[in-house]
């Protein structure tokens, strides 16, 4: 088993965004073009020598202490650690595993997040971290979920999570989870970051 994986958790741009319909569940039907950037957060996943048996209900975990992951980040991301999408992604993955199989004893994974993508900027930082967590934990824990299954889990965490699991530039429809790949020419972008923060959830 690979003991350490370092992965770019990329930012994204919406090259255009057209809202076609607001659904009763609060989501919006849309059309957009997602462009994934070669810039973003860096996430390092290290398999510890400790093993952990998940609790009967991971949702009862307090501040991530009862999960087989430990999150390390110099910046405080949320007031409540359980609100962090990395923690939520681990919980969602374990809950999906429990639907079909008893969770095995899992090695505890230390996750180190070097945060570069600003929050509230519409660049998908939290969603990208979520997708990266789903993909790498799936690999390190050898859970064998395929890409479509991971995208479905990701969609329960946020509308932008599936594009980062899809992993390529795409035209997106639905709530942003129906993809058609698109070839885009190389392009440089200048991103201006005002001091304002807008929740894009």
Angstrom distance (rounded) from CA 190 to CA 88: 32
- The number of folded domains in the chain is 1
Instruction: Tell me, yes or no, whether 184 lies in a domain.
Output: no
Instruction: Tell me, yes or no, whether 47 lies in a domain.
Output: yes
- Taking the CB of residue 103, how many other CB atoms lie within 10 A of it? 19
Give me the phi and psi of 128, to 5 degrees please. -65, -45
> Which residues are catalytically annotated?
12, 160
Listed residue (49, 155, 60, 58) closest to 103, CA to CA = 58
Segments of 105-148 assigned E as strands: 106-114
The residue assigned the tokens 């807008």 is: 198
Range of the domain at 79: 4-15+38-160
Task: Supply angle C-alpha 85, 90, 92, rounded to 5.
Answer: 90
Written as six digits, the tokens of 95 are 């809950």
pTM of the model: 0.87
Instruction: Tell me, yes or no, whether 155 lies in a domain.
Output: yes
Instruction: Tell me, yes or no, whether 72 lies in a domain.
Output: yes
Q: What is the CATH number of the domain that holds 100?
A: 3.30.230.10
Taking only the tens of pLDDT, the chain with its 201 residues reads 569 999 999 999 999 999 998 888 878 899 999 999 999 999 999 999 888 765 566 555 554 556 889 999 987 666 666 678 999 999 999 999 888 766 678 899 999 999 999 888 889 999 999 999 999 999 999 999 999 999 999 999 998 999 999 999 999 999 888 999 999 999 999 888 777 666 655
Instruction: Tell me, yes or no, whether 196 lies in a domain.
Output: no
Instruction: Tell me, yes or no, whether 198 lies in a domain.
Output: no
Instruction: Tell me, yes or no, whether 50 lies in a domain.
Output: yes
Measured in residues, the chain has a length of: 201
Instruction: Tell me, yes or no, whether 28 lies in a domain.
Output: no
């Amino acid at each position: 088993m690979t003991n350490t994986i370092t992965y770019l958790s990329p930012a994204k741009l919406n090259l255009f965004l057209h809202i076609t319909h607001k659904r009763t569940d609060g989501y919006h039907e849309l059309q957009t073009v997602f462009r994934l950037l070669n810039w973003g957060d860096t996430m390092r996943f290290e398999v510890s020598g400790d093993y952990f048996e998940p609790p009967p209900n991971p949702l009862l975990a307090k501040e991530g202490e009862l999960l087989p992951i430990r999150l390390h980040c110099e910046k405080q991301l949320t007031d409540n650690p359980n609100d962090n999408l990395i923690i939520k992604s681990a919980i969602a993955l374990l809950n999906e595993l429990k639907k079909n199989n008893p969770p095995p004893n899992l090695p505890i994974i230390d996750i180190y997040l070097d945060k570069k993508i600003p929050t509230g900027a519409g660049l998908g930082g939290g969603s990208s971290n979520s997708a990266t967590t789903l993909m790498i934990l799936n690999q390190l824990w050898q859970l064998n979920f395929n890409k479509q299954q991971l995208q479905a889990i990701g969609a329960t965490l946020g509308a932008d999570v599936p594009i980062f699991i899809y992993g390529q530039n795409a035209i997106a429809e639905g709530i942003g989870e129906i993809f058609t790949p698109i070839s885009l020419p190389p392009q440089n972008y200048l991103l201006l970051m005002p001091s304002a923060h807008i929740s894009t959830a």
